[in-house]
Amino acid sequence: MKRALVAAAVALAALAAVLVGRAATLRSRQVDPPAAQPFTFDSAGAIERLADAIRVPTVSSEQGPAPDSVFAVLHQRLAAGFPRVQSALRRETVGGSLLYTWLGVDTTVPAFVLTGHLDVVPVDSGSEARWAHPPFAGAVSDGYVWGRGALDDKGSVLAILEAIEALLAEGFRPARTIYLAFGHDEEILGERGAVRLAGRLKERGARVEWLLDEGGTITRGIMPGMDRPVAVVGIAEKGFVNVELLASDAGGHSSTPPRHTAIGRLALAVSRLEADPFPVRVAGATEALLAHTAPEMSFPFRVAFANLWLLERPVLARFTGDPRTAAAGRTTTAVTMVSGGTKANVLPLEARAVVNVRSLPGDSAAIVAERVRRVVADSLVEVRVLPGVSEPSPVSSPESAGYRAVSTAIRQVYPGTVVAPYLVIGGTDARHYVGITSTLLRFAPGLETAGSPPRAHGTDERVGIGEHAQAVRFYAQLIRNSAG
Q: What is the dihedral of CA 186, 367, 216, 325, to 10 degrees?
A: 130
Q: Is 275 left (phi over 0), alpha (psi -120 to 50) or beta?
A: alpha
Residues 6+ apart with CB under 8 A from 18: 307
Closest by Cα among 423, 464, 434 to 447: 464
Catalytic residue among 153, 165, 185, 186: 186
b/e map 407-440, b = 16+ CB within 10 Å:
bbbbbbbbeebbbbbbbbbebbbbbbbeebbbbb
Q: Which of 119, 165, 448, 461 is catalytic?
A: 119
Active site residue 124: no
Task: Name 234's bridge partners.
Answer: 422, 442
Q: Is 119 a catalytic residue?
A: yes
Give CA–CA dist 72/184, Å, rounded. 11
On whether the CB atoms of residues 121 and 437 are closer than 8 A, the answer is no
State the pairing for strand pair 208-220/111-117. parallel
- What's the Cα-to-Cα distance from 144 to each of 76, 141, 168, 184, 443, rounded to whole Å? 25, 6, 27, 25, 21
How big is the CA angle at 365 (ends 360 and 370), to the nearest 5 degrees? 105
Q: Residue 187, SS3?
A: helix
| Residues in Cβ contact with 483 at an 8 Å cutoff, skipping those fewer than 6 apart | 104, 112, 174, 175, 176, 178
Return the beta strands (E) in 224-343 as ranges: 230-237, 239-248, 252-253, 332-340
Distance between CA 17 and CA 444 in Å, rounded?
41
- 326 φ, ψ to 5°? -60, -40
**Taking the CA of residue 345 as centre, how many other CA atoms within 13 Å lie in the half-sphere pointing to its CB?**
1
**Pick from 399, 413, 397, 406: nearest CA to 478:** 406
The dihedral region occupied by 422, where left means phi > 0, alpha psi between -120 and 50, and beta the remainder, is beta
3-class SS at 372?
A: helix
CB burial of 43-80 (b: ≥16 within 10 Å; e: otherwise) equals eeebbebbbbbbbbbbbbeeeebbeeebbeebbeebee
3-state secondary structure of 63: coil
* CB neighbour class for 171 (10 Å; exposed up to 12, middle 13-18, buried from 19): exposed
Catalytic residues: 119, 186
